[in-house]
Amino acid sequence: MLLKGRKIIITGGPTREWFDPVRYISNASSGKMGIALADESNNISKNTCFIHGPISEDLLKNKPYRCIGVETTNDMLESVLYEIEDNSVLIMCAAPADYSPVKKSDEKIKKQNENIFIEMTRTPDILKNVSAAREFRKLNNLFVAGFAAETSNTEEYALSKLNEKKLDMICLNDVSKEGAGFGCDTNILTLFTRTGSKVELPILTKDKAASEILKQIEKELLKRNY
Active site amino acids: 27
Pick the piece of the chain touching ligand C5P (CB under 6 A) from 26-34, 43-51, 89-97, 203-211.
89-97
Interhelix angle 206-224/32-44, rounded to 10 degrees, is 50
Choices 143-151, 181-189, 191-199, 217-225; region in contact with ligand C5P by CB under 6 A: 143-151
Give the residue, chosen from 20, 75, 83, 98, that forms a contact with ligand C5P under the rule CB under 6 A: 98
134 binds ligand C5P (CB under 6 A): no
Q: How far apart are CA 196 and CA 4, in angstroms?
A: 24
Distance, in Å, from the CA atom of 93 to the CA atom of 38, rounded to the nearest integer, reads 10
From candidates 55, 94, 144, 158, binder to ligand C5P by CB under 6 A? 94
- Give residue 82's identity as a one-letter amino acid code: Y
- φ, ψ of residue 5 to 5 degrees: the values are 90, -15
Residue 78 and residue 81: Cα distance in Å, rounded? 5
Q: Least distance in Å: CB of 75 to ligand C5P?
A: 12
Site map (CB under 6 A) of ligand C5P, residues 64-83, x = contact: ---------x----------
Q: Judged by CB under 6 A, which of 38, 44, 142, 148 binds ligand C5P?
A: 148
Task: Measure the CA–CA gap between 143 and 38, rounded to whole angstroms.
Answer: 16
- Coil vs helix vs strand at 158: helix
Check binding of 55 to ligand C5P (CB under 6 A). Answer: no
Q: Which is nearer to ligand C5P, 115 or 213 (CB)?
A: 213
Binding piece for ligand C5P, criterion CB under 6 A, among 42-50, 62-70, 81-89, 94-102: 94-102
> Interface with ligand C5P includes 161 (CB under 6 A)?
yes
- CB-based burial label for 111 (10 Å; 0-12, 13-18, 19+): exposed
The answer to the question of residue 144 lying near ligand C5P (CB under 6 A) is no
Extended strands (E) in the chain: 8-12, 17-20, 23-25, 48-52, 66-69, 89-92, 99-101, 120-122, 143-150, 169-174, 186-187, 189-193, 198-200, 204-205
Stretch that binds ligand C5P, among 18-26, 102-110, 123-131, 194-202 (CB under 6 A): 123-131
Residues that bind ligand C5P (CB under 6 A): 73, 92, 94, 96, 98, 123, 125-127, 146-148, 161
